[in-house]
Every structure is written in structure tokens, then in C-alpha cells.
A and B are shown apart, each in its own frame.
Chain A
Amino acid sequence: MLKNQLPTGVRDELGINARIKETTVNTIQNYFYQRGFEKIKTPVIEYQDVFEDYDVGQQRLFKFLSASGNSVVLRPDMTLPLARVLSSTQVKLPAKFYYSGDIFRINKALSGSQDEMTQAGAELIGFSSMKAEQECLSMMIELAQILELESIQIELGLARFVKQILEMLTDNIDQIHAIEEALFSKQITKYNQLIVAFDESEYTSLLKIWPRLFGPAQDVLDEIFPYKFPERLQEKVTELRQLVSWLQVRYPNQNVEIDLSTRAPQDYYTGITFQAYSSQSATFLFSGGRYDHLLNHFQKEKVAAIGLGIDVDQIALISQVDCQTTPMTYIYFNDNQWELAEQKLMELDKATLCLVDSLEEAQKVADNNDGQLLDLTAEVIK
């Protein structure tokens, strides 16, 4: 019988853990709201087609059939549904949105990973200026402070950097793909075998150091300085350089890193990407980037856009570590003492009405929950 069991990959959230997560979501949403972002909420269920052309759509998803016989999925991503909304409504651009909700992906069973994850985030649609990147980075840094995350590291990247350089070296798509895969997953032995083919190109030395092309921003920028990139890529590299300088002036105490050796967080990203992690986290806490072509996928016109996603579960998990619980006060009262009981409830820091009919039972409730008892019936007698 499965009636009192949960499928693997999902979990219940109770008490303090659920509370921390709720507070985290509220803090994030209020922050975006105060910055003049508009709330958007999309359904958990979407047509599979929304995700199909992207990496997220290729993962294992919870899939079933709609009443009309079309494949629908539990959404694995929050940005693609937003793009769908924008392309099918008359929302005036530019616009800024924020969201929070659950996304679903089927992970390897019994591996400890969760299939239902809570994500919050913001999307800035219709801004092609670098000010959009700057606002996202500012929000990331400030939210990390508000959420009291320790020693946040910011990492910048360039989507399609790897691909565009490899395209300079060869037009063999399979070869590009193989090198990309080996580089991104750092299969060093395989990678070294694959790059032998380009032993005498202008990028040979870059190819050799590429798997280690990440670390403190200035170091990485210095490493790539000698190389001449195709014009389109050079523009992006210049932007990256400008963004690093801007960060160093605006947030002089913030560590900034660059990674030009890994896959962009989402394959729909087209420009600068940014992520952040803390020393306490096993995954990225913030992740975002520019995706100027995404709306083009749903409609005719291309629209500049940039998004920032936040892993609420990870942040809540970190916050739990140093969370102390104050004991609950259980207020026991007679039914002619409702007014007094309500008054005490308001006064006390953490209290609840104890709805039992005898003092003995009330004491038991308090004891079982490591709380204390406030007996109002005794006070009246005094």
C-alpha cells in the first residue's frame, strides 16, 4: 500500500523549514516589488512544445496528456513560459517582471536530488543596454546581503564564447560538438586528444589553457588579452571587461570571477551570463543571463531580454543551519476567557492557543512539544 508514502524525489515541508522557505520567497518577492517589478504567475502545467527546442525540454519531465490529447508537462523552467506569455499578449515593452514557483525535473532516483524545486526570479524584457546586466548584478549582490548569505562569489561568463571560437577553427559540426562536450564536462584526457588536430592555429595556446580558463576576473581577462577574436565576439569580450570594471567601482569589496570554460547555465542565453555561489552551497544560488533571441522563438520580432533565477531551496537550506527556535508558549484558558487569551496571544512573542479541555492535557501538549504552558485559569483565581 502506498497511501501513506511519498514518491522518491519529492518531500513534505514542515514547521521551521517550511517557514524559512516561505520567508525567503517573501523577502525576494518584496525586494523585486519595491524595485518596481511586476508580478507574473504562470500555471504549473504547460504544453511540452513550449520547452521542446531547448535543453530543459530534453531532460526527463513529468509528462501526461491533456484532455485534447496533446502532451503537457509540469514546467521544468520559469523563463520559457514567461516568453510564451509575452509573445501571446499585448504587454507593453520594456517591462520588468518577477515570479516565484515550483519547477519539476525527474532526477536520478534515490540520488538525494529533488524533482520539485522552488525558484524565484526576475526578467527584464526589452532592454538592450548593459544597464540591464548591471541592475541584475546589483540585485544579486543586494539580495545576498538581505538574505544574509555569507561570502558570495560572483561569476561572469559569455554564452557561445566556446562555440564561436571553435567555429573559427573548423566548420565540422561534429568536431565542434565533441570538443565543446569534452571541455564543458572537463573530460581532460579526451579533450587533449581532440585538440591535437589544431596544433598550429592562432588559438593553439588558448586551446591548451582553456579547461583552466576560470578564476579571478582580472586573471582571466589578462589570459585572453593577447588573442584577437572575431568582431562579434570581441564586442562581447569588451562588454565583459566593462562590466567587471563597473563592478569593481560599484562594489569594491565584492569578489568577481570569470569562467570561459563551462556551459552557459541555459542554452537560450546569448550574451553575458552571471551566477553566484556561497562557500556554504553545493550549487549556484543565483543564475542568469541575457537571452535576446528567445522571444524570437515564439514570435516574429527579436526582443532584448535578461533574466535572473534564484534557487530558493538552496538558500533556505543554508539559512536553516544557524536558525535557532524559541520555544512555543501554550495558552490554556477557560471558554469565558477568550478576550484575555487573545490579548496574551498578541502580546507574547511566540504563542498559540491550547484548545484542550483540561489543565492536565494542556501540560502534556506543552511537554510533548518542548514548550511552556501559560495557565490563564490559574491567573483568574488569583
Chain B
Amino acid sequence: MTERIKIALTKGRVEKQTLPLLEVAGLNVDPVYDKQRRLIFDLPDDPYTIILAKGPDVSTYLSNGAVDIGIVGSDILAEQQDDAYELLDLGIGKCQFILASTPDFNPKSTKRKVIGTKYPHITQEYFAKRGEDVEIIKIEGSVELAPLIGLADAIVDITETGTTLRENNLKIFDYLREVSTRVVVNPMSLKQHRNEIFDLVDRLEGAIKAKS
């Protein structure tokens, strides 16, 4: 029997949007829809095993060679900076990195700003490019709170529609990079399973074209 290819899929929104694409690509992913509390699924008709994980863990599993393929947002890839191969942009899970704060925030002020974010690396890079040194505070959830309660001067976060920002009276001051879901591969796995992995990538690429 051929060895199964392990795919780590980011659970939640990415998972919901990716499963239909995998179906269009010809994969039977019924076990994942009927998941109950399981996290590992052997696909019945294809040599793939799908593993559900949190985004940053997908990246860690991949770089350790624990899985062969990862399906994960480019926000996480940019933040983690692992050396995975990025073979395909699935064109789903689209959102945007933004710099936001309360309307009275002055981006041109000369003080050393305090920035709250889940993405310290991307934040650092963005301000470094602007030639500015900032103090970064890492926040795990509801980043919008930080400028409202006075913890930070502004935040760097991702937003899909901007609704949460608007509802919290936050204004967007700048747009950073765009985000979408990517198919990434462990370099060694690509060598070991060249044909199987390219076959899946080509099928997914076809599925994206069929959809659009």
C-alpha cells in the first residue's frame, strides 16, 4: 500500500471554505463533514489523511515534517517565517492586514507608539519599513480592545469586512498586505511524494478555475 499523504487543514473558517474546493477537486471529504470530536480523518477514496489543527500549529507540524501539506492563511505563514514551499493560492479566506485605532490617533505623531497585535513580526516589519521604531504588545484575542481601553495607541490586525472595527468605533489608518489561504508543502515531502502532491495541487488549481 502506498503511504498516506498527511494534510494539516486549519480548522474553522479556512476548513469550511477549503472542503468544498477539495470536493470540486474530486476528493471525498465526507468523513471531515461528519467529524464529531475527531481530528484525524483518512479519506476513503484517496491516499490522503486530513488533520485539523490551529493555524500556527499547521506551520509547526509542517516544518517538523510531521505533515506533508498544510492549508493555512498567508497571515500565519508571514508571521511564522518557516521555510515551507508555497505552491498555490486558493483565493479563499481573503482578508487584509490593517493599521487601525480610535479616530483621534495621529499616525504622524513623533512619540514611540505602542502597537497591540497578534502578529508582532509583521508589525515590526511594517514599521521598520516606515523607518519607525514602535513598542509591540502581543495580544491573543479581541485586539480591537487595546486602543479602546488605552493599552495601545493603535493595532495591527486582519479584517475581512471591517464590520467589527466599525462597530467598535475604530478607524483604518493604513492597509498592509493582503491575506488569503495557501497550500504549503514541506520541502522534503515534495521530494518524496512529488507526483502525488503535484497531482493534488493541479486538481485544486483546476477546481479554483472551475469555480471562478
Contacts and interface: CB of A to CB of B under 8 A. Distances in A.
Interface of A: 108, 111-113, 153, 155, 185-190, 212, 214-215, 257, 259, 262, 277, 279, 281-284
Nearest to B65: A282
Contacts, number: 49
B198 interface: yes
Nearest to B91: A189
Given A111-B64, A153-B191, A259-B191, 16 more contacts: A111-B63, A112-B60, A112-B64, A185-B85, A186-B87, A186-B185, A186-B187, A187-B85, A187-B86, A188-B89, A212-B198, A257-B191, A277-B188, A279-B192, A281-B188, A282-B186
B160 interface: no
Interface in B138-192: 185-188, 190-192
B188 A283 contact: yes
B83 A185 contact: yes
B198 A189 contact: no
Interface residues of B, number: 21
Interface of B: 60, 63-65, 81-83, 85-89, 185-188, 190-192, 194, 198
A375 B82 CA distance: 57
Nearest to B85: A186
A326 B194 CA distance: 40
9 contacts: A108-B82, A113-B64, A187-B86, A188-B86, A189-B88, A190-B86, A214-B191, A282-B65, A282-B186
B55 to A, nearest CB: 15
Contacts of B60: 111-112
Nearest to A182: B86
A256 to B, nearest CB: 13
Contacts of A111: 60, 63-64
A281 B82 CA distance: 19
Contacts of B198: 212
Nearest to B66: A282
Given A153-B191, A212-B198, A277-B188, A282 B64 contact: yes
Contacts of B188: 277, 281-284
Q: Which among A113, A189, A214, A283 has the greatest number of chain B C-beta atoms within 10 A?
A: A189
